[in-house]
Structure 1
Amino acid sequence: MGFSVAYQTTEQISPALQREMTDVASELTYGRTWLSCEPPYLMNQSGTLVGASKPNFSPHPDDVASAKSEGLPDGTLRDLLEVLCELSRRFDVDWKISHDHSDGPLGYIRSGICDDEVKTQCDAFSDLADELGGEGFDLDDL
C-alpha cells in the first residue's frame, strides 16, 4: 500500500533561500534512523519547495535490527512535522500539507505552528501503524 505525506511552501522562494532551507533540513534530520518514515526531501518545483515522505508501516526485520544497533532515535511522521515546523519558524515560510488520500490540503504549518487537523491525521496514521505492526500485519500486502 503506497502512502505519502506531501508538503509544499505556500509561496515561491528564492533559489538561495531554497538551498539554505535544504541544508538546514539535512542538519535537522541528522541523528535519527528514519526507520518509521522517510525524512523530508525538498526539491524546487516552479519556485516553491516541495517534498513527500512515506511512512514505513512494516519495516523489514533486518532494517529494524540495523536501526536498533545504531542506538539512535527513530524518525517518525511526528518528527517530520517538527522539522517542517522548525523550517517555518527559522525562515518565515508556511507549508501546505496533504496526503495521497486527502482532497486538497489537509492543513498548514504557519509561523512554525502545525494545524491540529494535520497533527491529528498524522498521529492516527502513526498509531495505526504501531497497532497493526504489533499484530504482525504486513500493510504492504493490503
Structure 2
Amino acid sequence: MGFTIYYRSASVVDESTTKAIKARASALCQDRSWLSCEPVCFWRTDDEHMEGGSKPNFMTELDPLELAEAEGMPDGTTLDMLDVLCKLSHEFGIVWEMSHDESDGTVGLIQDGVCDPEVKQRVETFASMAGDMENFLGGLMDGFDE
C-alpha cells in the first residue's frame, strides 16, 4: 500500500526557475540516505505549475538509522522533506500547497519558508507513525526469528 505527500506550487513557475528549484532540491537532499521517506522530487504539470510527491516508508525491512549510519549519512524523514520544501519556499518565493492521498484537496501551505501548523502536525504524525509501525512490526516478528 502506497501513501504519498504531495506539494504543488500555488502559481505558475517558469522553466528557468523550475530548473533552479530542482537543482537546489537535489543539492539539499544529497547528504541524506532517504530510507524513511523519499526525497523531494518534482514534475511539471500541463498547467506549468510545479508538483511533486514523496512517499514515507512506514515499513522498512532494515533499520533505517543503522543503514544511514553505515553509509555515513543521516536518514531522510518526512520532517527533513518538509524542511527542504520550507527552504525552497524561502529561497525562491514559492508557495507550496500541501496535500496527501487521503486529503480532499490542500491541507495547508508552506509560504515564505514557513509551514502552516496543520501541515507540520500532519507530517509529524506521519513521521511518528513510521516509527510506531516499525516498532509494532518488529515486535510481531520477534517470535518468528527463531
TM-score, with normalisation over the residues of structure 1? 0.91
Deviation at 1:71, TM superposition (A): 2.0
* Aligned-partner residue type, residue 27 of structure 1: A
Unaligned runs of 5+ in 1: 138-142
Residue of structure 2 equivalent to 1:118? 119
Contact kept in structure 1, 2:37 and 2:57, CA below 8 Å: yes
Greater C-alpha Rg: 2
Matches within 5 A, 1:30-45: 30-45=30-45
Q: Deviations over 1:14-62 (max 9, x none)?
A: 1000000100000000110000000011111121110011000111228
Deviation at 1:2, TM superposition (A): 1.3
Q: Does 1:24 align with 2:24?
A: yes
SS in 2 for 1:40: coil
Distance 2:120 2:135 in 1: 22
* Aligned-partner residue type, residue 37 of structure 1: C
Number of residue pairs the alignment of both structures matches:
138
Q: Deviations over 1:84-112 (max 9, x none)?
A: 11001001110000000011101000111
Q: Deviations over 1:107-130 (max 9, x none)?
A: 000111000000101111111121
Residue of structure 2 equivalent to 1:13? 13
Aligned-residue identity in percent? 39
Residue of structure 1 equivalent to 2:92? 91
Q: Does 1:80 align with 2:81?
A: yes
Deviation at 1:136, TM superposition (A): 1.7
Q: Give the stretch that moved more between structures: 57-66 or 9-18.
A: 57-66
Q: Does 1:57 align with 2:58?
A: yes
Distance 2:12 2:116 in 1: 21
Deviation at 1:65, TM superposition (A): 5.4
Contact kept in structure 1, 2:65 and 2:74, CA below 8 Å: no
Distance 2:82 2:71 in 1: 23
Indicate how the Cα distance of structure 1 residues 130 and 62 shifts in structure 2: closer, same or farther if over 3 A, else same.
Answer: closer
TM-score, with normalisation over the residues of structure 2? 0.88
Residue of structure 1 equivalent to 2:128? 127
Indicate how the Cα distance of structure 1 residues 132 and 9 shifts in structure 2: closer, same or farther if over 3 A, else same.
Answer: same
